[in-house]
Every structure is written in C-alpha cells, then in structure tokens.
Chains A and B, each alone.
Chain A
C-alpha cells in the first residue's frame, strides 16, 4: 500500500498547488513541496525492505477477469529513478519559486509540475506494462502543458506541439510494441515479462515488438532522427527544462530501455539498432551543441548527445556497459540539472541567453560562475568530478566490444571524437560566458541571484564533486542495487576508483581534452563550415507539415463527407449489399417449414395499399405535400398490420409517432420550396432504381425466410417472467420499464439531448417565409378558425383522459408512458395549431427543457432508490393492495419510472414542435396587421 502513495502524493500536490496559489509564492512553494518530500521519505523508508527481497510488489485488482490490475513494483532501478525524480523535483520547486516572475501563475506551474511528477513516478513504479504506457502518455500530455506554460509565446506553443506530436506518435508505437510483447509473454505483468527473456527473443514477433518499443524509447529520449523536438522544447521556463531534460522526461525512454533490458537485450538486432542510434545521436548532438549560440540550445544538444551515450552503452549489451549506463544516468542528471539552473540564473539576471552577448560574467556573479564551471567541467569529464568516472567507463566499454569485427576500432575512435566535441562545448560554456571580455549590449546589468535560487545548484554541484571524489561511498550502493535490477541479479566486477593507472581510456580522455580545447579555439572555422548548409528549423518544417496534413485531411473530409445525404445513403446501402449478398447466396432453402397463414381480404387490400402508397411516395416525391399524404397512408397501413398481427402496443406507438412525424414534416415543409426541380440525370435514376430494387429484394427475401421459419428467441424468457418478476402482464411494457429499464433510461436521455440540440439549433434561426402557397394563392386571413378552436379545446380533456388511461393500465395492457406521452403531446400540439403560440403561452407557461430534465431525473432517481434497499440500480418493486370501494389494485415502482418516461416524451416533443412553430410567430408583421 505504501507504494501506491508514492505517485499519489504528488498528484495530491497538484491539487494543493492549485489551491494554495493565492497564499503567496513562498507559501505555495512550501505547501507544494511538502507532499513530494513525504513521498521521498516513503521511498527511503522502503530501502531496508528492498535490500532483503530485491523487489516489492503491491497489487490492487481492478478487472481480474481481464487480467487488469493496478500494480506497482519497486526495485533498485525504480529506487534510483524515484530518488532522481523526487530529489531533483524538490530542487526544481525551490528554484522555480525564484525563477518565475510575479506575473506567472505559480499555482498553475506547480500543478503541472506535480502532475508530471506523478506521471514519471507512475512510469518507474508500474508493475504492469499497460499501466506503464498509460503513465507514459501522461508524461507526454503534462510535458505539453509545461512546455507551453508561457502560451503567449508562439515558439512555446509550437515547441510544445512538436514535442507532443513526436512523443505521442512514439507512444502509439510503444503501445503496439507492448501489446505484441504482452501476447508473446502471455502477460503484461512486468515480473513475467522480465522472466521470459529467452521466450521473447526467440519469438518470430520479436523484431517487430523490439522496433516498435524502440520507436517509443527513441522518440521520448530524443534519439536521432527524432531528436528535433528537444531543442524546441527549450521555449519552456528553465525550471521545466532543468527537470524534463535532466532527470525525467527524456530519461523515461532510457528508463524503459533499462527496464526491459533483461527481456529484450542481447540479440544482434538489439545491438545494431540501439548502439548505432546511440552512436549517431552522441555525435550529432555533440557536434550541433558547438554551433548553438543560445545557452539553453547548447545544453539541449548536449543532453541529446549524452542520451545517445547512454543508449549506446545499453546497446553494447555487456554487463559492464549496462552498469556504466546506469552510472551515467545518475551523473548526467546531476550535472545537467545544475547547468540548466545556472543557465536559467544567467538568463534571469542578464535578460539574454545569447553567448555572443553574455561574456565576462565572472566579474558580476563569481559565485554562480564557480558553480556553473564545476558542473560544466563534470559535463566535459574532468577528473575528480562525476562525469569523468562514467565517461572513463564508457571509453573502456567501447574498447571491449568486438561487434564490428576488424572494424571494431571505429567505435572507440568515434566515441573519442564525440568526447572532443563534448569538451569543446563545455569549454565554450565556461569561457564564452564567464570570461572572453565584457558583456555586449545586455538589457540588465548582471548580478548574483537571490540566495535561495543558488541552493539547488549548490546541492547538485556538491553531489557532482562528492560522487567524483568519493564514488564508492556516495553512490556505490545505489549504483549496485540499480544495476543489479537492470541486469536481473548478478553484477559484474567493477571498480569506481578515480585512478586506474595509465591505460587506453585515460589516453582517450586526454585526447578528448586536448582536442576539445583545440576545437573550441578554432570554432570560427566550424561556424564557417556550417554556414554552407541551408539552415533547417524543425519547428517550422513541422508547422508546415501539420498545415499540409490539415489541408489534406480537410480535402479528404470534403470528398468523403460532401453533405449529400443521397450519397451517404448510397454508400451505406452498397455496404449492406456487400455484406448480405454472400450470406444470402449460401442460404439454399428460401421457404422454411412453417405453414403460411390463410389469406383474408382486408390483409390483401392493406398489403396492396402499402405497396401502392409506397410507390406513390416515390412517384410524387417532387410534390412534397402529396408525397407526405402518401407517406401517411403507409404509416396507417403499418399500424393496421401491427394491430392485425397481435402487436397492439406497436400499433398505438406507430400511430402516435406517425402523426407527430407528419406535423413535424409539415412545420419544416413551410420553409422549403413547395416543388423540387428535377435534378437527377436519367442515368442516376436508373442506378438508384437498381440499388433500391436490389435492397428491397434482399430485405424482402430475409423477411420471408425469417417468417417461414420457427424462431426461438429470448421472448420465452420475458413471457415467463413478466408477471412474476416485473408484476405486469403487458410484456412489452415490462421489458421497457423493468427488464431493459436501463436501456429506456438511456433512450429518454438521448431523446432529451436531441430535443435540446434541436432547440439550440433553432434558436436565433431566421428563415425565409413564403407569402403564398405553391400555386401563388395568398394565405388565408383567418389565423385561428373558430370552429377548429372550439372543437379542439373540447377535445383536449378527452385526449388527456385517454392518455392517463393508457398510462395507468400500461403495465398490464397495451399502453405505457411512451404512448401516453405522445398522445398528450399531440393533444397539446392541436391546441397550438388551433389557438397559436401566444394563446398557449398565457395558459401553459412551462419551460419544456426543464420538463425534460425533470422526466429524466424522476426515472433516474427511481433507479437510484433501489440502492436504498441494497438492490442493484433500477430493481423494480411491486405489490397488491386492497382498498374499500376501489378494490384490489397493484402498485409498482416501474410506474414512477414510466412517469419519468412520460414527462420526458411530452417535454421533448413539445420542445421541438412548439419551438419550430414559434420561429415564425415573432417574425410575421404582415399578418399581424391583417388581424
């Protein structure tokens, strides 16, 4: 359980940061720092347990049937990374307190930072690969928020987008890789995967899984050729850069490389891909770091280069190389974080990061300069500093490998070359900034920063020195436990001594030093050489590419979704034919064994009417009103058919829906042209006739085949349980309000949402209103004929009585809330038609959207009520009562639910129809004068 709290505490910190923002900056910083500090203390308290068992697990089952658990796993590697994440995170919190200005929102910054910290801790502590991936994505998102913290700057927004796109795409590849890996190992559990290394490496999916996972790793860790997002992420505030690009975000990729090392490493493919990527990144990063004039740009490329170095070490695949990689992770995190912070101080105090302008700061801020110079020396690999030790191990390892046969000597040579560049940019950082004349044209006069801004740098630089001088004592145990977790147990012999005697690695270091100085002092040649190449800006190219993608997507969308309903229908019907055709051609016997019903005259006539009216609708399709009348006949005959074939519920519903539909269509018809011009070409009509005929034939065949067969569906269950389980004899209604009550609840919610959507679409819509009918006749002058008004008014109570009747008996006989609602709605619509909106408004002033909300709420609360009796949601209750005079009657909770349905249906129907009708009322000055 303790493990769970470690990522959870920073998450709480995010909330606290947001809540305490108005307390002032210092208090907000303290309040925010408290929770990660607690998490760090928890981590440290777990160490004794760790040295006994090797790894600690904590699992909470979530969906055990699917093997999905919330699982945390803590081992040496997780320990190392958690300490880095939390330790450097705390220093960054302190540093950011002084770095951010009053204008920046402190609470927002800390909240993002804490969110990011949670995500990182989630990655390193996950005991399940899918869970790890989730946190991995969370780092992408939270880093997007952090990089774009200064969202008013376009470069920050662009940089953040680029970073999100690159790492997000990598994340998708990683997910694919993890899924493959999970299939190979038959589990996503980290322990299982780490144990089944041999199985994974021999599997035929191994290359695909490896390459996909590496795509995720390389994008996250800014490896060549995916490195371009990192320099652009420098638009973030410097505390973010110090955190993301020293210990966390980019190290997440490296972490995964280390985490899956026992499962994936050790094959030829691994060596080729990982080490060559690492080597290229190492060289490219180191080379470009020399060309940057921006202080943070230099550090960004240097980070890329060092990440390449670590990747290369993992790629070499020997045990010692893995140890060296882990060691360099620690060292790089410490010196790079302090360098970023120093760069931030310089930027903060000088107002510029351009190394051509900031010179000679030694005079202005000697203390900061001394700290930065030590950290830069560690980056260069100067003896007595931590960078020296791991670089020495790195050189030694490049000498040990023999992968390239007789060409193996190339790797140490290239490594030394990268060392030369690395020394050169480190020297540049020191010499250009702190010496080399006087500052040029700076907006401010530089001076030392506030006292506490230097504290994080001091701590980190102190660590660089301590590790460099007393490696065994300071970092030995941590390195041991982390490396053994990476290697899966046994550790090779290695020594962390400062002095190994005169050997080849030392010579390589010396060559790098001398070469670096030489390159630095002749850097003008380098700049001149680089100038011959066209300048390439990843962010701009990215934006261009994005715009092109957007354009292409827009064109594709226009082409696919061109607004022609006929076309959508055509595509869907074609798909239907495509899917049904093969199944139907396999069906050999069209007629089943069931006997036909005897034919009677009315059914025959009705069937004939149905066909003819259907045809009529098509034939008169360009005279809309007549087509509508034909359609009414179709609806009428269908209702008759429902009544004839023992489906009275359906018949009643169909009738009510029919009338509502006709009214709705007629309301819309008013705004449409009365006649449709002939638009379709003969060829198109022929095509449509063919498709319609085909579909009709297919559906007819299916219906015939189905109806002539004995069908055993689940209806027997409903018939058997309707009375005993739901307390009603009308099975249709019991299904609606009880068996499938949850569906009904969903449906009325959708109905309500649709009505509200229509209401919003119509609000403020102004349409053209014709002043006469299709034959040019003026509209009649009498708006509300008196006979209609009187008759409809007297019809209202009768209709309401019918609807109450239908509603009440719905549970046992045909009826129910839906039909009753429609009948009420239709009766009210009749009043609207007969008397007009204004008349109705004075008598029935109900906000229909509130009515919908009430209806849905009543239904939902009926469902919730069953919780009070410790029953599942929407369990219904019923009982029989006996009252004098009334006799025996039944009460069921389903009736309350049905009442909700009723209210929703009335509200939704009236909201749509009355509003559609209302659209014209306020806009008809001409007719008002005629009254």
Chain B
C-alpha cells in the first residue's frame, strides 16, 4: 500500500509547499508571511519524514526534529522582531 500512498502524499506535501510559498510572497502583511514560512518548516519536516519512511531510515526523523525545533525558534525570532524590534532585550 505504501508504494502508491507515498507518491500521492509526496505530491500533496509538495503542493502544500508551493502554496505556502505563494502565501509567503503574496502577504499581504508580515504576519501572513511569517506564518507561511513557519508552515513551510512544518511541511518540510513532513517531507523529510516521508522520505525517511520511503528509505526506511531512522536518521531522517532527527533531521525533521531539528527542523521543527529550529523552525520554531526562527519563527519566535521573527515574531519578537515584529513586536519589539529588538529580539534580545
């Protein structure tokens, strides 16, 4: 079953990424764009986990974990910047 589910999910997540990027460039506000980037991080980790399932490797899970964590921190930084300008105060 995986043999046909995986390509379909790959295609769907890829499409999601494209839509995310569309939202990122369209905006209109910076919060919209930030949200788009954060969703891109989430979708990327999904993509990597999918790839790990396809390759049956556990290493990819860690990469996904890191993307999730670092993506969160990146988003926090952008949000802090929007709110206060100065991210470390």
List of A residues within 8 angstroms of B81 by Cβ: 625, 666, 669-670
- The listed residue (A651, A782, A783, A916) touching B63 by CB distance below 8 A is A651
List of A residues within 8 angstroms of B86 by Cβ: 667, 670, 769, 917, 920, 924
Contact B63 A662 (CB under 8 A): no
| Residue-wise interface mask of B (30-69) relative to A, using a CB-CB cutoff of 8 A (1 in contact, 0 not) | 1001100100110010011001000000011011011101
Q: Is A644 an interface residue (CB 8 A)?
A: yes
Contact B24 A629 (CB under 8 A): yes
Q: Is A833 an interface residue (CB 8 A)?
A: yes
Contact B77 A917 (CB under 8 A): no
Cα-based distance from A658 to B13 in the complex (angstroms):
22
List of B residues within 8 angstroms of A651 by Cβ: 63
Q: Is A601 an interface residue (CB 8 A)?
A: yes
| Residue-wise interface mask of A (597-623) relative to B, using a CB-CB cutoff of 8 A (1 in contact, 0 not) | 000111011101100110010000000
Contact A605 B59 (CB under 8 A): no
Q: Is A213 an interface residue (CB 8 A)?
A: no
User: For A604, A636, A792, A916, which residue has the most chain B Cβ atoms within 10 angstroms?
Assistant: A636
Residues 709-729 (chain A) with a chain B CB within 8 angstroms? none
List of A residues within 8 angstroms of B27 by Cβ: 626
- The listed residue (B14, B66, B78, B85) touching A823 by CB distance below 8 A is B66
Cα-based distance from A346 to B86 in the complex (angstroms):
74
Partner-contacting stretch, out of A5-13, A336-344, A824-832: A824-832
Contact A605 B17 (CB under 8 A): yes
A670 and B85 contact, Cβ closer than 8 Å, known pairs A605-B17, A636-B40, A643-B51: yes
Distance of A755 from chain B, by nearest CB (Å): 16
Which chain A residue shows the least CB distance to B25?
A: A616
A633 and B13 contact, Cβ closer than 8 Å, known pairs A826-B73, A830-B76: no
Contact B88 A916 (CB under 8 A): yes
Count of B residues near A, CB < 8 Å?
47
List of B residues within 8 angstroms of A823 by Cβ: 66, 69
- The listed residue (B18, B66, B83) touching A656 by CB distance below 8 A is B66
A633 and B30 contact, Cβ closer than 8 Å, known pairs A652-B63, A666-B87: no
Cα-based distance from A781 to B29 in the complex (angstroms):
21
| Residue-wise interface mask of A (777-792) relative to B, using a CB-CB cutoff of 8 A (1 in contact, 0 not) | 0011011010010001
Contact B14 A917 (CB under 8 A): no
A629 and B34 contact, Cβ closer than 8 Å, known pairs A663-B77, A779-B85: yes
A609 and B21 contact, Cβ closer than 8 Å, known pairs A626-B33, A833-B77, A833-B80: yes
| Residue-wise interface mask of B (2-22) relative to A, using a CB-CB cutoff of 8 A (1 in contact, 0 not) | 000001001101110110010
| Residue-wise interface mask of A (828-844) relative to B, using a CB-CB cutoff of 8 A (1 in contact, 0 not) | 01101110110000000
Distance of B68 from chain A, by nearest CB (Å): 10
Distance of A787 from chain B, by nearest CB (Å): 11
List of A residues within 8 angstroms of B24 by Cβ: 616, 629-630, 633
Contact B88 A636 (CB under 8 A): no
Cα-based distance from A655 to B59 in the complex (angstroms):
15
- The listed residue (A605, A652, A662) touching B77 by CB distance below 8 A is A662
Q: Is A402 an interface residue (CB 8 A)?
A: no
Residues 779-821 (chain A) with a chain B CB within 8 angstroms? 779-780, 782-783, 785, 788, 792, 795, 798-799, 802, 806, 813-814
List of B residues within 8 angstroms of A605 by Cβ: 14-15, 17-18
A773 and B85 contact, Cβ closer than 8 Å, known pairs A640-B47, A802-B66: yes
Q: Is A128 an interface residue (CB 8 A)?
A: no
Contact B88 A918 (CB under 8 A): yes
Distance of A384 from chain B, by nearest CB (Å): 90
Contact B48 A640 (CB under 8 A): yes
List of B residues within 8 angstroms of A914 by Cβ: 88
List of B residues within 8 angstroms of A918 by Cβ: 88
Contact A648 B70 (CB under 8 A): no
Contact A836 B89 (CB under 8 A): yes
Contact B88 A829 (CB under 8 A): yes
- The listed residue (B17, B47, B69, B78) touching A799 by CB distance below 8 A is B69
Which chain A residue shows the least CB distance to B18?
A: A605
Distance of A791 from chain B, by nearest CB (Å): 9
Q: Is A225 an interface residue (CB 8 A)?
A: no
Cα-based distance from A666 to B74 in the complex (angstroms):
10
- The listed residue (A601, A829, A917) touching B73 by CB distance below 8 A is A829
Contact B37 A670 (CB under 8 A): no
Cα-based distance from A927 to B84 in the complex (angstroms):
10
List of A residues within 8 angstroms of B33 by Cβ: 626, 629
List of A residues within 8 angstroms of B66 by Cβ: 652, 655-656, 802, 823
- The listed residue (A629, A662, A779, A917) touching B88 by CB distance below 8 A is A917
| Residue-wise interface mask of A (164-182) relative to B, using a CB-CB cutoff of 8 A (1 in contact, 0 not) | 0000000000000000000
Q: Is A592 an interface residue (CB 8 A)?
A: no
Contact A813 B67 (CB under 8 A): no
Distance of B58 from chain A, by nearest CB (Å): 10
Distance of B70 from chain A, by nearest CB (Å): 4
Cα-based distance from A770 to B85 in the complex (angstroms):
8
Contact A633 B37 (CB under 8 A): yes
Contact B76 A921 (CB under 8 A): no
Contact A826 B84 (CB under 8 A): no
Cα-based distance from A368 to B34 in the complex (angstroms):
94
Contact B14 A920 (CB under 8 A): no
- The listed residue (A600, A625, A780, A788) touching B76 by CB distance below 8 A is A788
Cα-based distance from A729 to B76 in the complex (angstroms):
36
A643 and B63 contact, Cβ closer than 8 Å, known pairs A609-B18, A659-B70, A802-B69: yes
Q: Is A851 an interface residue (CB 8 A)?
A: no
Contact B77 A636 (CB under 8 A): no
Contact B10 A913 (CB under 8 A): no
Distance of A905 from chain B, by nearest CB (Å): 15
Contact B69 A795 (CB under 8 A): yes
List of A residues within 8 angstroms of B74 by Cβ: 632, 658-659, 662-663
Cα-based distance from A924 to B76 in the complex (angstroms):
22
List of A residues within 8 angstroms of B70 by Cβ: 655-656, 658-659, 826
Q: Is A539 an interface residue (CB 8 A)?
A: no
Cα-based distance from A56 to B25 in the complex (angstroms):
83
Contact B41 A837 (CB under 8 A): no
Contact B37 A837 (CB under 8 A): no
Contact A655 B67 (CB under 8 A): yes
Contact A837 B88 (CB under 8 A): yes
Distance of B32 from chain A, by nearest CB (Å): 11
- The listed residue (B18, B59, B69) touching A648 by CB distance below 8 A is B59
List of B residues within 8 angstroms of A893 by Cβ: none
Contact A609 B88 (CB under 8 A): no
Which chain B residue shows the least CB distance to A798?
A: B69
Contact B37 A632 (CB under 8 A): yes
Cα-based distance from A501 to B89 in the complex (angstroms):
101
List of A residues within 8 angstroms of B82 by Cβ: 773
A601 and B7 contact, Cβ closer than 8 Å, known pairs A625-B81, A636-B41: yes
List of A residues within 8 angstroms of B14 by Cβ: 601-602, 604-606
List of A residues within 8 angstroms of B47 by Cβ: 602, 640
* 14 A-B pairs in the complex with CB atoms less than 8 angstroms apart: A602-B51, A625-B30, A629-B78, A633-B24, A636-B44, A658-B70, A659-B70, A666-B77, A826-B73, A837-B88, A913-B88, A917-B89, A924-B86, A924-B89
Known: A605-B17, A640-B48; 15 extra A-B contacts, CB below 8 A, are: A601-B11, A609-B17, A629-B37, A633-B24, A636-B44, A640-B47, A648-B60, A651-B63, A658-B70, A669-B81, A785-B83, A813-B59, A814-B59, A913-B88, A924-B89
Binding site for B on A (CB under 8 A): 600-602, 604-606, 608-609, 612-613, 616, 625-626, 629-630, 632-633, 636, 639-640, 643-644, 648, 651-652, 655-656, 658-659, 662-663, 666-667, 669-670, 769-770, 772-773, 779-780, 782-783, 785, 788, 792, 795, 798-799, 802, 806, 813-814, 823, 826-827, 829-830, 832-834, 836-837, 913-914, 916-918, 920-921, 924, 927
9 interchain residue pairs of minimum CB distance: A917-B88, A605-B14, A780-B83, A659-B70, A832-B88, A920-B86, A666-B81, A602-B14, A663-B77
